[in-house]
Amino acid sequence: MRTYKARGIVLHTLRYGDSSMIAYLFTDVGGRTHYMVQGVHGRRGNKAALFQPMFAVEIEGVEQPRARMHRIREARSLVPLASLPFDVRKSTISLFMAEVLYKLVREEEANEPLFDFILEAVLHLDRMQEGIANFHLWFLVRLSAFLGFYPGNEYTDNDWFDIRDGIFVPSMPTHRICMNPSCSRLLGRLMECEADELPALRLARTQRGEFMEAMLAYFGYHFDSIHSVQSVSILREVF
Q: What is the CATH number of the domain that holds 47?
A: 2.40.50.140
User: What integer pLDDT is reported at residue 59 of this predicted model?
Assistant: 97
Q: Does residue 208 lie in a domain region?
A: yes
User: What integer pLDDT is reported at residue 5 of this predicted model?
Assistant: 97
Instruction: Measure CA 229 to chain center.
Output: 11
Domain boundary among 77, 102, 117: 77
User: What integer pLDDT is reported at residue 42 of this predicted model?
Assistant: 64
Q: Report, as an integer, the average pLDDT of 128-156.
A: 97
Domain boundary among 34, 57, 77: 77
Residues in the chain: 239
Range of the domain at 135: 128-238
Q: How confident is the model at residue 45 (pLDDT cuts 50, 70, 90)?
A: low
pLDDT digits (tens, 9 = 90+) for 56-67: 999 999 998 777
Q: Is a pLDDT exceeding 90 seen at residue 207? A: yes
pLDDT digits (tens, 9 = 90+) for 68-114: 899 999 999 999 999 999 999 999 999 999 999 999 999 999 999 99
- Overall domain count for the chain: 2
User: What integer pLDDT is reported at residue 44 of this predicted model?
Assistant: 59
User: What integer pLDDT is reported at residue 70 of this predicted model?
Assistant: 94
User: What integer pLDDT is reported at residue 43 of this predicted model?
Assistant: 61
Q: Does residue 191 lie in a domain region?
A: yes
Q: How confident is the model at residue 40 (pLDDT cuts 50, 70, 90)?
A: confident
Cα of first residue to Cα of last residue in the chain, in angstroms, is 47
pLDDT digits (tens, 9 = 90+) for 12-33: 999 998 889 999 999 999 999 9
Q: How confident is the model at residue 201 (pLDDT cuts 50, 70, 90)?
A: very high
Residues 156 and 234 in one domain: yes
Judge contact between 149 and 164, C-beta under 8 A: no
Conformational region of residue 131, where left means phi above 0, alpha means psi within -120 to 50, and beta covers everything else: left
User: What integer pLDDT is reported at residue 18 of this predicted model?
Assistant: 83
Average pLDDT score, the chain: 94
State the DSSP string of 129-152.
SS-GGGHHHHHHHHHHHHHT---S
